């Protein structure tokens, strides 16, 4: 079952920051990694990814640099910043709270 566009869109920031915390990457590789990690249930496109990357960069959560690989065209690699790592922690806390609430209202976990 495919994950809805709304849920996919809502989760782009923490997912991108999480992927970049694992290591620097470029756009196509980020899209490929998300497809792989989600077992194909989450589909991202260039048109969805790049505006979020640009916004994260503008906010100082990531930075980018052009890198020339052997015998290929230059690629724009993205790296998480210290500010981005702090933002990821905040995003994780918020998603944990949302998940806890959902588990409670769905009767999956006991209420606290």
pLDDT band at residue 53 using 50, 70 and 90 as cut-offs:
very high
User: What pLDDT band is residue 48 in, cutting at 50, 70 and 90?
Assistant: very high
* CB atoms inside a 10 Å sphere around CB 93: 10
Q: Domain tally for the chain?
A: 1
Say if 112 falls within a structural domain: no
Has residue 110 been placed in a domain?
no
If pLDDT is split at 50, 70 and 90, which confidence band does 14 have? very high
Residue 33 falls within a domain, yes or no? yes
Q: In this model, does residue 109 exceed pLDDT 80?
A: no
Question: Could you tell me the pLDDT band of residue 54, with boundaries at 50, 70 and 90?
Answer: very high
Handedness of CA 77, 96, 11, 42 (dihedral sign): positive
| CB proximity list for 15: less than 8 A, separation 6 or greater | 34
Residue 60 belongs to some domain of the structure: yes
- 80 in a domain, yes or no? yes
Q: Is residue 85 part of a domain?
A: yes
Write the CATH number for 59. Answer: 1.10.10.10
- Among residues 40, 78, 35, the alpha carbon closest in space to that of 56 is found at 78
Asked whether residue 48 is assigned to any structural domain, the reply reads yes
The mean pLDDT of 78-97, rounded to a whole number, is 97
Residue 34 domain-assigned (yes or no): yes
Range of the domain at 31: 5-105
Asked whether the beta carbons of 17 and 84 are under 8 A apart, the reply is yes
Q: How many angstroms separate the CA atoms of 81 and 25, rounded?
A: 13
- The number of residues making up the chain comes to 112
């Amino acid at each position: 079952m495919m994950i809805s566009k709304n849920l996919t869109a809502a989760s782009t920031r923490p997912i991108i920051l999480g992927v970049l915390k694992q290591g620097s990457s470029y756009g196509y590789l980020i899209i490929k990694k998300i497809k792989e990690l989600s077992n194909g249930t989450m589909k991202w496109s260039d048109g969805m990814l790049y505006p979020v990357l640009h916004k994260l960069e503008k906010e100082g959560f990531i930075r980018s640099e052009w890198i020339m690989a052997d015998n290929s065209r230059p690629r724009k690699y993205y790296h998480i910043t210290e500010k981005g790592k702090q933002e990821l922690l905040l995003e994780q806390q918020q998603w944990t709270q949302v998940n806890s609430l959902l588990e409670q209202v769905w009767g999956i976990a006991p209420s606290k």
